[in-house]
Amino acid sequence: MIDIRRMGGLPMSQLILASSSPRRQELLKQVNIPFLVQKTNIDESAITTSDPIEKVRELAILKGKNVPLQQHEVVLSADTVVAYHKQIFEKPQSKEEAYEMMKTLSGTTHDVFTGVMIRSQDEHKVFVEKTEVEFWPLTEEEIEWYIETDEPYDKAGGYGIQSLGAIFIKQIIGDYYNVVGLPLAKVVRELRNFHIYNKDFKAK
């Protein structure tokens, strides 16, 4: 068995997650990828496009370029939005906004886009992943109950598929983890091109 982290005589790089999102941190821990966290300080209002694909792509790039890198360091940055008929739903800022989001998504299918940037000193990779999510029709009581849990306010689209919001999901087409905040399997595969591997992962 050959330790893949040393294949070709190249040392394993250090991953820096340019995000304070607890969900993205949990996903990387789930697949045993060691990382450091560096929160970025950027002005997201600088990205003015109304196109959800371009928005997450540009925000991922903006976050990724904001992190200074040393040799053998790799930064991973990402941004996620919910879009319904190309209208972008980010994190609701009020109870009224959360209500309107949930009311709009009720009984419909929407898209979740996550833009990802992986960058070293020498190269970078940028991509956008899409997942379609269909909601069951929601009653007024369900919407009001969910808003009172305070769960909607730190999540794009106002719901968390990995927590209480799971009861609203009729079906999804695409990567479940993309809705959580990171298209995990694709990210892991792309990270290998930057010499970032799962802890103790070995290959013949």
Residue 14 burial (CB count, 10 A): 17
Consecutive 10-residue averages of pLDDT for the chain (204 residues):
40 86 94 92 85 95 92 94 92 94 96 96 96 98 95 91 95 97 96 86 56
CA distance 8 to 5: 9
pLDDT score recorded for residue 107: 97
Q: Give the dihedral of Cα atoms 88, 90, 93, 94; nearest 10 deg.
A: 60
Q: What is the pTM of this model?
A: 0.89
Catalytic residue among 3, 43, 51, 79: 79
CA distance 152 to 158: 4
Which one-letter amino acid corresponds to residue 161?
A: I
Report the DSSP beta bridge partners of residue 78: 116
Query: What sign results for the dihedral spanned by CA atoms 106, 107, 108, 109?
Result: positive
CA distance 97 to 125: 34
Which candidate, 109, 112, 142, places its Cα nearest to that of 23?
A: 112
Residue 67 burial (CB count, 10 A): 18
Radius of gyration of the chain (CA): 18
Query: 2-203 adopts what CATH topology?
Result: Maf protein (3.90.950)
How many helices, marked H, and strands, marked E, lie in the chain? 6, 9
Which candidate, 91, 134, 131, places its Cα nearest to that of 111?
A: 131
Provide the mean pLDDT of the chain: 90
pLDDT score recorded for residue 204: 47
Q: Which SS3 state, helix, strand or coil, does residue 58 take?
A: helix
pLDDT score recorded for residue 46: 82
Helices (H), 66-182: 95-105, 140-148, 176-180
79 is catalytic: yes
- The gap between the terminal CA atoms of the chain, to the nearest Å, is 5
pLDDT score recorded for residue 202: 60
